[in-house]
Amino acid sequence: MGVTREHRRAMLSNLATALITHGRIQTTLSKAKALRPFIEKVITKAKKAAGKTDKKDALHLRRLALQDVRDEDAVTLLFNEKYKEFVNRSGGYTRIYKLGPRRISDAAEMALIEFVKAEDTGYTKSKGRRPAKGKKAPKAKAEATPAEASSSSEATADKAAAGEAPVSHGEAPQGGAETGAAEAARETKSDAPAKPEGESKA
């Protein structure tokens, strides 16, 4: 963020104090991202101190938090009251919202950072893209049963024994009409009397 180490620690301490006191603050996006891990470590110390049975261990954790957040009132509020909001959470104690309008002076990106409430369930993850409605899978064609296959094979064998070519349903026998017409023409020619040779046409 372009500041010295001491300046950074003091700035994060002031931001953490304001966040503990008010629950939500507005700052730049870069400062909000730097504040998130800083304040969450302090909240973890408060949760651990609440679970300690020995007072000296809880006091030690409180003093470690005071080294980071240099405001005794804010640390007391966090260790006595605010930590109860995060008992059922294992992390993710803060949330950052990006704001649309930038700061007028230097056009820095602005953001809101706030504590996540105990009753907040958070966002649910999507299960992926859903299939389009109205489209059905094509049905598979029904296969012939063994009994139908055997009956069709027997019918084909009977026709072959009778000298008939098997004809499929819906199709006319090829060359049937032409063969009948040719045979009729041959019979007509054979029945007509033969003309004697040498007879001229009248």
Looking at domain 5-115, its CATH architecture is Alpha-Beta Complex (3.90)
pLDDT in tens, 93-102: 999 999 988 9
Looking from the CA of 25 toward its CB, the CA atoms found within 13 Å total 19
pLDDT in tens, 123-134: 666 667 776 676
The pLDDT score that the predictor gives to residue 12 is 96
User: Residue 83's CB: how many other CB atoms inside 10 A?
Assistant: 20
On whether the pTM is more than 0.75, the answer is no
The pLDDT score that the predictor gives to residue 117 is 82
End-to-end CA distance of the chain: 128
The pLDDT score that the predictor gives to residue 151 is 60
The pLDDT score that the predictor gives to residue 90 is 86
The pLDDT score that the predictor gives to residue 202 is 45
The pLDDT score that the predictor gives to residue 194 is 55
Ranges of the chain whose pLDDT falls below 50: 172, 202
Indicate the domain borders of the chain: 5-115
